[in-house]
A and B are shown apart, each in its own frame.
Chain A
Amino acid sequence: MELRARAPWTNASIGPALQAALILVASLALVGVVGLFFAATKDTFTWDGYGQQVVSGLAQGAIFASLALALVLIYRATDVLNFAQGEMATFTTYVAWSLMNHGLSFWPAFALTLVIAFAGGAAIERTLIRPVEHRPEIVIVIVTIGLLIALNGLTGWIWGTEVKAFDSPFPLRTVEIAGVVVSLQDLGVLVVCLVTVSVLWAFFNLTTLGLVMRAVANSQEASRLLGVRVGWMLALGWGLAAALGAVAGMMAAPALTLDPNMMLVVLIYAFAAAVLGGIDSPVGAVVGGLVLGVVINVLGAYVDFVGGELRLPAALAVLLVVLLIRPQGLFGHRVVRRV
């Protein structure tokens, strides 16, 4: 029997959205101050440059946030981390590349890819996850690892392992906002990811189907007793997660260039973001992703020891420290087990 204790600052008087915004601002401010501490010691420091790092950090963070949210969706539905999430995203990004190669322009290809990703994700749940859904978590995790290996190989088999260019839908210009030079590419990525996340939020909170999916994530048995076809809801969850991953992949591809291992590092950042935010909290995943994006950009730019190469280990080290202090993550529920 599990009881979920609320996060200590939960207060019925302020809404969760406001809470999330507050924490996002607070964490970003903290990151900013810490970053500034390092940044100010460098002669190359300028406020414009710093602002630019933060904005491109947010853009990168939005990609992490999308993939992290996909992980959280599946975690809440199936109780496991989907290790194949990144490879699913890579695969669908290659599909988008093929569609564009066949003459489609970016946005039609984008939309079609989302549909294909949704169908693929739902199909994976129906065929591969469903047979093992009642077995120990480790079995499901291993199935997703198998999927990771197979999809990675399949991507290379179909499209080759050499790096491919992936066109960006956004112009290569920059604009100046409040004195900070911002690339339209970063801005576009940020907007697309945030719109996607908002649409998803609206789906879950404003529609009956979204309510049913949240109920299934809460308790499958209780949902069944109310006549909910739980199996289809789980498939729907996997489909949505796959589509979300596809958005992340297509937004990441122009900067990373397309190759079969493109999303592996992104997946790890997304894991880190999801765990940082609290693995069962969608809000946490988004906040965690954005914060992580800014952290690694600022650390990479202003801390010599970290530099370009050690961003990932540094981010993970920060994460581990956070987890040791607060094992359930920033927004997660502490699971109290009663024997």
Chain B
Amino acid sequence: MPLLELKDVHARYGPIRALHGVSLTVDEGEVVALLGANGAGKTTTLRSISGMTRTSGELVFNGRRLPRRSPEAVARLGIAHVPEGRGLFPELTVWENLRMGAVGRGVSLAEEAERVVGYFPWIGRRRTQDAATLSGGEQQMLALARALVSKPRLLMLDEPSLGLAPTIVRELFAIVRRLNDEERLTVLVVEQNATIALDVASRAYVLEVGKVAVAGTSDELLRHEGVRKSYLGY
């Protein structure tokens, strides 16, 4: 049984339909990428899972239907969503941001923080700095770290590479790969940068105008002619 399953999910923003029946699965312990152009419905898919948009269709997580219109309840089930723009609290310090990761899930901050700071050593040194004063790359790292503190069963990342320098992006995805290797963390990542996403992911879905256009393992997609032309650029 997959950890997360979406069956024929539709979503709309007022009169505008954003998803026209998306179906996908994410298995325990795998990294799945969601690719596509701007406006294809990638972010909306994550928002639907998190209960942040009006949806119809079936969304099942860990054998249970996901609550609708209640992001807090979804988060409490163990789905950590790092949204577009990272969703940090700019006026809170680095450490306070991290503490917020433990709040909703009732986990002990001390143990989890120890483990998480192992992946991001700089956080331990800069705990009293305001999050607003971090660089873009550091903010993305902190958002990821905060999500990890909540011990998620599923981590959802929305465009983590957006606006970051290529070396930072490589570093970020290297950490995601390590997390998956070492802790069997399940990840659903939305990316426009298909090259780097397919490098880490084992499977991927390509969304076009609110529907799954192509699906397969990363190797299959890397060989797929349409995907290569449209998203990989060769």
Contact = CB atoms under 8 A, between A and B. Distances in A.
A binds B: yes
Interface of A: 1, 4, 6, 12, 208, 211-212, 214-215, 218-219, 221-230
Given A222-B83, A226-B75, A4 B100 contact: no
A225 B91 contact: no
Given A225-B87, A230-B72, 17 more contacts: A4-B91, A12-B129, A208-B99, A212-B100, A212-B103, A214-B91, A218-B89, A219-B88, A219-B89, A222-B83, A224-B52, A226-B103, A226-B104, A226-B150, A227-B73, A228-B100, A229-B72
Contacts of A211: 92, 96, 99-100, 103
Nearest to A224: B71
Contacts of B90: 4, 218
Top 7 closest pairs, chain A to chain B, by CB: A227-B104, A227-B75, A222-B87, A218-B89, A224-B71, A227-B76, A226-B104
A56 to B, nearest CB: 35
Contacts of A226: 75, 100-101, 103-104, 146, 150
B128 to A, nearest CB: 9
18 contacts: A4-B90, A4-B91, A4-B132, A208-B99, A211-B99, A211-B100, A215-B89, A215-B96, A218-B91, A219-B88, A221-B52, A221-B83, A221-B87, A222-B88, A225-B50, A226-B146, A227-B75, A229-B72
Interface string B124-164: 00000100100000000000001000100000000000000
Given A211-B92, A212-B100, A222-B88, A227 B132 contact: no
Contacts of B10: none
Interface residues of B, number: 28
A227 B83 contact: no
B45 to A, nearest CB: 15
Contacts of B203: none
Interface in B71-97: 71-73, 75-76, 80-81, 83, 85, 87-92, 96
Given A4-B132, A211-B99, A212-B103, A225 B89 contact: no
B12 interface: no
A224 B81 CA distance: 10
Contacts of B81: 225
A224 B96 CA distance: 16
